[in-house]
Structure 1
Amino acid sequence: MVAQPIDHCRKLFMKHESHEGNLLEKTESQPKVDDVDIFTAARLLQYLMLFFIIYMCRREYHKSGRCHYLIWLRTCFMEKTLSPGEKKENETRKEEIKPEQEELQKKLEELQNKLEKLQKEMGRRKAQFKSAWRNAPLYADWRKEEFEAVKLTLDAASAHPALRLSEKGRQVAWQERPQDLPSSTQRFDSLPCVLGQLNITSGRCYWEVEVGDTCSWDLGICRDNITRKGVVTMSPQNGFWAIRLYEGEYWALTSPETLLILREIPLSVGIFLDYEAGDVSFYNMTDGSHIFTFPQNTFYGILRPLFRLWSSDSGLLTIVKVEEN
């Protein structure tokens, strides 16, 4: 089937060479190429292009072991040059591969149906997860998708005189000699605490605190209007929701306190707050595991992050910086 256009191209080449020789014998008074020359060159170019297409088709045929591309291209570009026998052969070949095409189309439709079912199932499971994420407090990364990471610094006006804050307000440490600071209704004078500069009145948010090898600390949230003078018991009844590390033991400051057993010592603690749901949970950000969730509460007014160090050998606490998007 390929030989016919090739032979035709060869004849055209010979005719063109003969015609070119005749042109050389003409005098200089005939410088223009006549219409026959232009037509011959155009036909020659056309058959060269068809020859190239046939070559590429045969190449694809040998690579894939199928002749679908060849049949398609021959039908598109060479239909006018095919003999009746070749046209009949093409029709026969189309009929032969038609059942295979129908079978492939059927399998494609089956795969599309399975894909649609799989997508629906994934959507259903994702919806179930989103509706029940509070009941699956296993890993911190699950909650990060539902909570907003907040930029947080420490409020120097609330810091106990024994606490020293860093210049950027993200780190608190104990200092041997308490500062001589003016008295203020906002400042703690008995509990060595400091609050975060964040007023929370709605939404879901979280922040992380590096505790490292700090040996004694309290972390959590509290109401903005808590008592900051005199003796204060840290409990939910008094507006505190926090956990504590003291003398190697971890406690949830419930009433009474709850001893916590952690599978791994946290180097960083995550505090997750859902204001409307009354939910505050703590996570070990070292391994992502859940530490403790306070029983559901009803929050009102302003809530603020809470930090506490116990003594000069406590160490320091550092708020993890939120990366810019």
Structure 2
Amino acid sequence: MSNENKNKITVFMAAYNAAPYIATSIESVLRQSYPHFELLIVDDGSTDNTTQIVRSYDDPRIRLIENGENKGLPFTRNVALSEAKGEFMAVLDSDDIAFPNRLETQLQHFLDRSKLAVLGACAYIIDEEGNRTDQKMVPICESEKLHAGLLFYNSFVHSTVMMRTAAFREMGGYPNHPVAQDYGLFSRIALKYEVDNIPEYLGEYRIHDSNITDRKRHLAETQLRAILFYQLDKLLPNTDHIDPDILRAPVIGSKYSPQEYYALYREIILQNRKRKQYPTLELEQILYNNWYMIVMEKGKSKTLPLLLRTPVFNRSHATAKHIRKAFKQSLRYILGIRP
């Protein structure tokens, strides 16, 4: 193995009490068609036999680091800041599975695209026993649409992601959040570098009881708001007047008025046209799609004039069907015909 190829990729695995699944995860890495990798496993103070299982593998590509005590997922993931030797870092959670072609496939995309910093893929969902369910994880696989969407939601399957290690280090690694560290990291990287997903299934994501709890859901919602405002602070001159729920809550059944949505959407659109923080066409398409649902639910006799308000309305985003339905709804309310 030449020095040029040695440890081209660091496969990073954070582990805590992962004994039931970690052997399967490790073996999926060792079966990779691309051989020039290291498997860096960081154990976060497991109280089961996770570390014994890792040590049972006699493979020089495996490195085990032990925290000694439980220090939490952000700390554990950020061990890679100093320890990863690869030019690229592929994430694999200790209960998930990488398909044999994963590293080879993703590496080729990075070699072909010099500005690419984060690349994810699709994944099948498996249950606790490793049986494939009828569900799949299919993220957005268009780079500019993905980038624009990161203002509102995370569209990466974390356990399929490969990153340029330099970009990961430049951002200081994962933010020190109890949950949603991946979304926080990827949304920051996307403000400077190209990010993407490929429409290929490169792994299996395991669902089990310990994946998420009610407490985690509450923490996640709190953190998602913080990530949203981090991005808005980069885009808007002032965010003190913005209620985070207006962008976090579903627009259908929302408590907010069309006027409140319009004021915020207009501000986002105009500032983004000036700053070019997100791909303009894709961001405005997302906002227009929301706007259409809002005015169809709340517009009543003013549905059509509300829909046509610029800059939220754009002829390149609207369809003839949208305009026709908005016109019919306005007319019904004017004539006193309720849906």
Q: TM-score, normalised by structure 1?
A: 0.22
In terms of fraction of residues, the more helix-rich structure is 2
Q: Which structure has more RCO (C-alpha within 8 Å, separation ≥ 6)?
A: 1
Q: TM-score, normalised by structure 2?
A: 0.21
Rg larger for: 1
